Structure formats: structure tokens, C-alpha cells
A and B are shown apart, each in its own frame.
Chain A
Amino acid sequence: MKEKIVKVILILLGGAFLIIMLVLPLATVLVYALRQGFETFSKAITDEYAVKALHLTLLATGITVIVNTIFGVFAAWTIAKFRFRGKQALTTLIDIPFSISPIIAGLVFILVFGRIGWAYPLLEAWDIKIVFAVPGIVLATIFVTFPFVSRELIPLMQAQGSDEEEAAALMGAGGFRIFFKVTLPHIKWGLLYGVILCTARSLGEFGAVSVVSGHLRGKTNTLPLHVEILFNEFKLTAAFSVSSILVLIAVIILILRNIVEYRVKREER
């Protein structure tokens, strides 16, 4: 009986916390966005700068996810399948973006590629712009999100061991065949899960991107930065309208995540 009461109280507490901290704010976003009618809402999200910001966000996310998926698979493969000195150090290094504030990540790029950075003369000679341009935004997003895929894969691949890969190699299979025929079927759901997390984080990345972006409207403004600008200009309805796009994407991702998580669990059985 006592246990039952504790259980109910804990569930209620958890639920209340979630409602106050997550559901209410998100609902508020939608309510605020639609407060002045649907027309204002659609005007805000079809605004030229909003659309351009969305494009840039999708571009940066697309590149980031591709790069980080490839990097993540390589890193996880290396760590899980080989024995070498400094393996622990590499694993720790991969986690650095998780423990570093995004703003520092942004500043790092300014310090390297910006006007005061050591790589600046070189970049100028080649006429490449990184800071306050799209490449900088992409780099910052990649930096911030690169642990997601490898973090998902490393424990998975370590648990599997390398026997199956060794068996395939002994029969003369090359690296590509081993990866696609033996390793990939095992890690595909974990990989997809990592990709989804990476996508979600890339879409919403604010701190690091804010530092390197330069906030040029229509050029280096991502969707989260666009929301900030609108907010600072007291265009609250527009800000919330644009935010609602991000919220919508987040909800879709959440649903995808749950489906994949379910599949992963089933696979493990």
C-alpha cells in the first residue's frame, strides 16, 4: 500500500515537472505565434529573411549530419575494433564538445580563422572566407555535434566484438564488404538514432553559430539566430511564429526518435 502511494506521488511529481518545464512553454510558443491570427503567422514564416534563414539552417544541418555520420562511423570503428595506444585519450577527445560551452567553440574558430587568427593570412591569400560566412557556421555546427553519432556507436560495436568481422576478413572479404554486410546491419538502428540526435542538435544550435555568424540578415542568419533578432526587435509574434517551425521539427524528430528507440530495443532482444 505504502509503495503504491509513493509510486503515485512520484509519477505525479514527474508529470507536473514535465508540464511546467516543457509542455507549457512549448504550448505558449504556439499560442503566442497564433495570437494575432493565422495571417500574421503565415506572413512571419514566409518572410524573405525567415525563408533564407531556414534554408541556411537546413544546409548547415545537412552538411553537418553527413560529415558527422562519416566521422562518427570511422571513429567508432577505430575505437571498437582496433587495439592501440591512446585509445582512451581519443575517446575522451571525442567527448570534448559535450563538455565545452558552445560559445567557446565559436570563439575558437574566430581565434583560428578570424582577422586575429593565425590562419587568416593563408585564407586571405586563397580568398576563402570562413568566419562571418557560411563555412564558419557549418564548421561550428559540426564541432558542437560531432560526438553524437560516435557516442551511439562505440558501446554498440564494443559489445559486438570483432569476431564476425574477423571471420569475414579471414574469408577474404574487403573492408567495404565487411562494413556493409556484417557491421552495418548490426549498428543501423543505433546509427539512425545518432543521426537523429545530431540533426536535432544541429537545427537548434545557437551559441557557437551566434559567435561566428556575424548576423548578416539573409546571408549568415540561421533560424535560431533569426528568432533572436526578431525577439530583440520586439516582434514577439513573428519571433514565436518562426520558433514554432523549430518546435514542429523538434516534435517530428521526437516521434522519429521514439520509433527508432523502439526498434533498437526490439533488435536487442
Chain B
Amino acid sequence: MYVELQNINKRFGSFQAADNVSFSIEKGKLIGLLGPSGSGKTTILRMIAGLETPDGGDIIIDGQRVNSLPASSRGIGFVFQNYALFRYMTVFDNIAFGLEVQKKDKAYIKQRVNELIKLIGLEGLEKRRPHQLSGGQKQRVAFARALAPNPHLLLLDEPFAAIDAKIRKELRTWLRETINKVGITSIFVTHDQEEAVEVADEIIITNSGRIEQIGTPIDIYKNPATPFAAKFIGESIVIENYGQLHGFETSEGYLKAIIRPEFVRVTKKEQEIYPHASERGTVEAIFFRGNMLELRLTVGGLKFISYRSLEDDVITVGEEVSILIYRLYLYNDYQVRLVENMAFKANDAFTI
């Protein structure tokens, strides 16, 4: 394992930022540290970088325990949330800074900086000052600056938080591709699950100083290990009294359930296919979501959300519809369980 955290603890006054955190990261992977704000993800990142000291536990990078190693000699590249570009230096000088610190010769510095400027696609802007750049450009410069001294680990703190939505998507893809090209082990912090799912090879979900789950995005989406992970990844709605739904009558010690919009299928009454497994409900509201419709439904006091393609038959507000629920995540305080619609499964087997 390339980066390893073992039983890391960190407390700021009464705030437990890291509570016995342990995880390890393989070389060359792009890892997303995902969690709501205040979950301790930035603190974990800053401890790896050496900007904060853990109260206890070990941080091991490339087989070496780095706890007592100062930030300056850890050889880590760091991209700050607000970029922290040196505002009194040009783009060129910003990127060259780390190399100058290492006392590289001028010709090498020039060649390396130009190479990086090309990599980030900002040729011609070398003489600009940070305040003359757009958010996306600043982000790229910060990225190049962190990469310049050839670090063996790259840390990015909320790399896309300060960029407007449209460029964010583009930049995400760019960053993903560039990191692959450079082949550097990277960890980025984000509170945006969509971003983490899209960019990361592996996601570490943090919540109030603890690790909730580690896994690939698909793995976490399909098999959430904790109620928190289930609620945090993907869209989710919590329902009670799920026992009244067809196919979910047998409940064993789970009080609540999580349901995602994609678990719910809505059909017009006339086109109902699985009457044993379906419910009747009403459409409360319909929202246009750009490329699809979002339906708000009620079934005997329970509220769901479902998506519907614009190509499907038109459904109107107030209409009674047939609702098929494929599966639910049942959960209590400690665990989550995926249950399929029993009636639907039986039905399915019968038709085959």
C-alpha cells in the first residue's frame, strides 16, 4: 500500500475531526474523500500533507512513517480549495516556485514550466497575474504548480468548489484525464457525491470524523455498508411503514427504508404489468428536469420520487398510476440491507 493511515485521531477543542481513521491507498489510484462539510475530510487531507499534526496514529507514505516529517520534506503536491496562487507572481513564476526552491538550474526550470503550461493548455498566459485569470484557469495553474516539483502524491482540497457549474464538468474530465496521463497517486476531497462518483477510482466516505465506507463508486452505490453511505450516495428518500407496500411485508427489526428514484417505476393504470407487486398511487407534482421529468408520488401516505422519460406516455398531475417498487434498502441504527420486491420476484419466476 502506498499511503496508509492507521488509527488517526485529531481533535480541535470539542470537535472530533478524525476518530480512529484507518485506510490505505494503492499506488497510482485516484481517490475521492467524500463527506458532508464538517465530516473531517479536509483535516485528513491536511494531516497527510503535514499541515496538521494528528493527536495519535501513524501516517505512512511509501513505507516511511511521516508523522514527524515536516510538510516541506514530504514531497507532496497540494492544490488548495481557493488555489492559493501567489498573487504577486506571474503564472510562470507560480509554477516555477517549487523548482526554484529545489535550486534547479534555469534552463531546466524553463523547460519544465513550459512543459506544464502546455499540459494545462495555457500557452501565451505565462506573464499573467492570478487576478487576470478565470476560475478554471487559476485551478489549472494551481494544478501545474503542485505538479512542477514531481511530487509522488497529489492532494486536492475541493478542487472544483469555486468553479461555476458549466466549466466544472469539463474540468472534472480534464483533471481525470490529466492525472491518468501523469500517473500520479492522488487524493481529492469533495462534498459533491456526483463529482466523487464521476472522477474517483475509489471513494472513501467520511462522516463526523469516521470512515463510513471505502470502495469503488459502483460498489458503494450498490452495496452501501452503512445507513449514512446509503443516504449520501445517489438520490435517496427515507420512508417509514414500508411494510404496507406489496412485496415488502416481511420486516425484521428494520424501522425505516431508503428508496432511490430509480427503484420506482411508474406506469399508467391501463398498462400495469405486475398487479400483484404494484401499488396504486397519485401523482402530486411533476417537475421538468431538463432531460427528464421528476414525478412526486404518494402511496397511502408514503411519498416517493421517480423519473420518467420525456418519450413516455404523458402523465398528468392528480392522475392515479401504477407504481412498481423493485427494491428498498432497509436500515436501522447500525446496518443496511437490500431487499427485493418479493411479490415481483415470485411473479417473475412464475412467468418464466
A→B interface (CB under 8 Å): 163-164, 166-174, 177, 181-182, 185-186
Contacts and interface: CB of A to CB of B under 8 A. Distances in A.
B84 A171 contact: no
Contacts of A169: 71-72
B78 interface: yes
Contact of B97 (A168, A185, A186): A168
Given A170-B49, A171-B98, A164 B87 contact: yes
Interface in B40-61: 49-51
B101 A177 contact: yes
B86 A181 contact: yes
Contacts of B350: none
A172 B72 contact: yes
B148 to A, nearest CB: 8
The interface centre, meaning the residue of B74, B80, B82 with most chain A CB atoms within 10 A of its CB, is B80
Given A172-B102, A172-B149, A167 B71 contact: no
Given A166-B51, A167-B78, A173 B101 contact: yes
Given A167-B78, A173-B101, A185 B88 contact: yes
A7 B320 CA distance: 69
Nearest to A182: B86
B156 interface: no
Given A167-B84, A170-B76, A171-B72, 17 more contacts: A163-B80, A163-B82, A163-B84, A164-B84, A167-B78, A167-B80, A167-B86, A168-B86, A168-B97, A168-B101, A169-B71, A169-B72, A170-B71, A171-B145, A172-B98, A181-B86, A182-B86
B286 to A, nearest CB: 45
Interface of B: 49-51, 71-74, 76-78, 80, 82, 84-89, 97-98, 101-102, 145, 149
Q: Which 7 A-B pairs have the closest CB atoms?
A: A163-B84, A171-B98, A185-B88, A172-B72, A167-B84, A172-B101, A173-B101
A168 B142 CA distance: 12
A174 B88 CA distance: 18
The interface centre, meaning the residue of A167, A172, A181 with most chain B CB atoms within 10 A of its CB, is A167
Nearest to A173: B101
Contacts of A167: 78, 80, 84, 86, 145
Contacts of A170: 49-51, 71-72, 74, 76-78
B149 A166 contact: no
Contacts of A173: 72, 97, 101
24 contacts: A163-B80, A163-B82, A163-B84, A166-B84, A167-B80, A167-B84, A167-B145, A168-B86, A168-B101, A170-B51, A170-B72, A170-B74, A170-B76, A171-B97, A171-B98, A172-B72, A172-B73, A172-B102, A173-B101, A174-B72, A177-B101, A181-B86, A182-B86, A182-B88
Contacts of A182: 86, 88
Contacts of A174: 72
A163 B81 CA distance: 9
A48 B82 CA distance: 61
A172 B149 CA distance: 10
A185 B87 CA distance: 9
A169 B51 CA distance: 9
A8 B274 CA distance: 84
Contacts of B88: 182, 185-186
A169 B74 CA distance: 11
A27 B145 CA distance: 58
A185 B94 CA distance: 14
B242 to A, nearest CB: 47
Contacts of B49: 170
A181 B71 CA distance: 19
Nearest to B84: A163
Contacts of B78: 166-167, 170
A163 B49 CA distance: 13
A164 B72 contact: no
Contacts of B74: 170
A170 B84 CA distance: 12
Nearest to B94: A167
A186 B102 contact: no
Nearest to B97: A171
Nearest to B149: A171
The interface centre, meaning the residue of B76, B88, B145 with most chain A CB atoms within 10 A of its CB, is B88
B97 to A, nearest CB: 6
The interface centre, meaning the residue of A167, A170, A185 with most chain B CB atoms within 10 A of its CB, is A170
B109 to A, nearest CB: 13
A185 B85 CA distance: 13
Contacts of A185: 88
A186 B87 contact: yes
Contacts of A166: 51, 71, 78, 80, 84
B225 to A, nearest CB: 33
Nearest to B93: A181
Contacts of A177: 101
A96 B87 CA distance: 34
A98 B85 CA distance: 37
